[in-house]
Chain A
Amino acid sequence: MKILVCISNVPDTTTKIRFTDGNSRFDATGVQWVINPWDELSLTRALELKDDPASGVKSVTVAHVGGADSEPTIRKALAIGADDAIRVNGVASDAYFVAGQLAEVVRKESFDLIMCGIESSDFNGSTVGGMIAEFLEIPSVSGVSGLKVEGGKVTLTREIDGGKELVSVPTPLVAIVQKGIAKEPRIASMRGIMTARTKQVKALEPSAIEPLSQVVGFELPKPRAACRFIDPENAGELISLLQNEAKVI
């Protein structure tokens, strides 16, 4: 079994978000770029599966759509333990474009299990995984918080509103993963960092796919009013404010 883990390159989650050029563009000055947190968990689970000989997982490849400036993030994924990487050299203009490119990667290299994080921490679309599956006309399972592979057979735990379901789905499939899929993201070892330098990053030119939407500008939310402090000895006052002033209870 071959696993493809799709990764997105996002600003470190502690980044103070700013825009430039009349709020039309993200201000990347001084920003640290990282693997999208859900994709990092997804990669961790894929590698755990590969470590288990009973899984039948033979290789873990990472794929990314972006310019050459995203190479450090791809190298990080290789240092954590992915076998090789594919970068589609395009601008990730919308989810449809990105998913279309990744679907092409799957068509060319035929993977059995495609893993995507539930969303990226920058665009928060929750869309790329499902789109890849529809482009390829294969099953997708969303909200996956548990993934088992035994002898190439895949069972998934998916979160449903108010519960969980255990499902078995034939390959090839797209697993769209969320919190719970792996406990902690795996960290690159020194040896991993050294060997990552010799691993292959294949660069592909993008296919002709027209985006369906575009971001024309950004706005920062209005700052909230200053916090009103209530004496801890008189906590009851809070309840009356919530009842009579805010009217939320």
Chain B
Amino acid sequence: MSVLVYTENRDGKFRKPIYELISYASALAEMMKTSVTAVSIGQVEESELKKLGTYGAGKVITVSGDAFKIFDSQSYTALIAEVASSTGAKVVMLANNTTGKALAPRLSVRLKAGIASGVIGLPVSTEPFTIHKRVYSGSALANVVVNTPVKIITLMQNSFDLHEKPVAASVESYAPKSVTASKSVVLDVQKQEGKVLLSEASVVVSGGRGMKSADNWAPLTELAALLDGATACSRPVSDEGWRPHEEHTGQTGKIIAPDLYIAIGISGATQHIAGVSSSKYIVAINTDKTAPIFESAQYGIVGDAGKVLPKLVEAVKQAKGK
């Protein structure tokens, strides 16, 4: 019996969302009087695996092999399901990112385990297993009861604080009994190196139509860089092609939950707010004092983006001594 966490690595390293997952799993394991086991797939050095112990993973199961070089949802699902069964997992946890969204539903069917996806906090009760989940694109929360002996949870990034709970993690390598061969072929990979990922960023600086033109983005990008943040945009901006669609935050784009979301020249349509309402703080800068974005913001400046942005850049430089 355990809480099993799939700890995805990127280029052999674990990132912040994985430590959030382990922190969450430790708190959940305490509620359920059990322990945390992590499963890692691919080449990760032992020192990195042991770091999972910092947040409370007592055991780390590691699987590598050519069969898992390509991310194939079928073969990964078969493997994680096998580990879940062999460790008697009561809860299987994944990040609510692209990988988690690909694997969690398949695991749900394979293990006949009910799923609560995109959760933002610990269960309200474990018997019956009742948990809050965001619904209606952030306009409400639903209380979901999961009835099955095994449960699957995907955790929204940036919604659970890191909490150190050091234990010595034992590392065990595991040889899967059966391997489902991947049928997919990767033809090409494009990676954006060095950029802060929008889904993982603590600070997001986002521009809307009030930025007036694609040529005006330099100070916004500079502000984001000074704050170690990511850049985002509203839907009209990505539809116009001023910014790539990967940056579109909102109901049909990315759903994010940073500590700080700075909306510049964004009026704040319902669909936009749906993507950012889980942010801890929202700052709005808009020429129109009656813009709905101010209803969701804690701090606001009524002013033109072109005039306010350079002042913010200067103020951050001063504050950070840069």
Interface residues of A (CB under 8 A from B): 11, 13-14, 17, 19, 37-38, 41, 94-96, 99, 118, 121-131, 133-135, 137, 139-143, 145, 155, 158-170, 176, 179-180, 184, 212-221, 224-225, 227-232, 235-236, 238-243, 246, 248-249
Contact = CB atoms under 8 A, between A and B. Distances in A.
Interface string B130-154: 1011111111111111111000001
A139 B73 CA distance: 7
Contact of B299 (A11, A131, A220, A241): A241
Interface string B7-21: 000100000000000
A121 B270 CA distance: 12
Most buried by A among B227, B269, B298: B298
B230 to A, nearest CB: 11
B227 A17 contact: no
Given A17-B136, A161-B197, A242-B260, A169 B281 contact: no
Contacts of B252: 37-38, 41, 121, 179
A229 B109 contact: no
A212 B148 contact: yes
A161 B99 contact: yes
Interface in B297-322: 297-303, 307-308, 311-312, 314-316, 318-319
Given A11-B136, A121-B136, A121-B251, 13 more contacts: A17-B139, A124-B117, A130-B102, A131-B105, A139-B73, A159-B98, A160-B71, A161-B99, A164-B190, A166-B189, A230-B299, A235-B312, A236-B314
B165 interface: no
Contacts of A38: 252
A139 B72 contact: yes
B113 interface: yes
A80 B163 CA distance: 51
B130 to A, nearest CB: 7
B51 interface: no
Which size bracket describes the interface of B in this complex? 35 or more
Interface in B150-166: 154
Contacts of A165: 186, 188-190
19 contacts: A17-B136, A94-B114, A96-B115, A121-B136, A124-B255, A126-B96, A128-B105, A137-B74, A140-B73, A160-B71, A161-B199, A162-B191, A163-B192, A168-B184, A179-B245, A220-B139, A232-B302, A236-B311, A236-B312
B191 A163 contact: yes
Interface string B209-245: 0000000000000000001000000000001000001
Contacts of B50: none
A121 B271 CA distance: 10
